[in-house]
Amino acid sequence: MSVKRAIQILEDVWEDFKDYFDERCRHYSSGMKLEEAERSHWICWSEFDLLAQLARFYYKRKEKGNLRNIEIHINESLKPSNFKDYEFYTDLKKVKEKLGGRAPQPDLTIVFEDSFDPFILCAQAKPFILKHSS
């Protein structure tokens, strides 16, 4: 799988999630006043909830597609000591040094489950809360 394909799958997953979110919000908000709806938590209470939803939709797509040996990990610390056999071990050590001793921790890491090659994709996902102005 190429990086381009991994990004396309994430874009498709994002569209799946948005459709689900819009449908559930219509359902949850029916009969609510606008002020009450704006104070409600809805689907994602935190960034981790967003990541869990993206992973959920990713695995739904995995079942339908040819993605048998692809896995997605959430908030995995990229400590060099966890990746000694990987070909990018030395690079991770350099990154950790540049970050003042902290290991990078991407929100999403997409990998081949049976390979020590570089990861397919590491990404950040951030939720934004939009307020309706009256």
Query: What is the rounded radius of gyration, in angstroms, for the C-alpha atoms of the chain?
Result: 18
Q: Which residue is listed with tokens 């003042």?
A: 100
Per-residue pLDDT 10s for the chain (134 aa) are: 677 877 888 899 999 999 998 888 777 778 777 777 666 667 777 888 889 999 999 888 877 766 778 888 999 999 999 999 999 999 999 999 999 999 999 999 988 888 888 888 888 877 666 555 55
Order across the sheet with 121-123: list the strands. 70-74, 108-112, 121-123
Note the pTM of the prediction, 2 decimals: 0.73
Q: Is 34 helix (H, G, I), strand (E, B) or coil?
A: helix
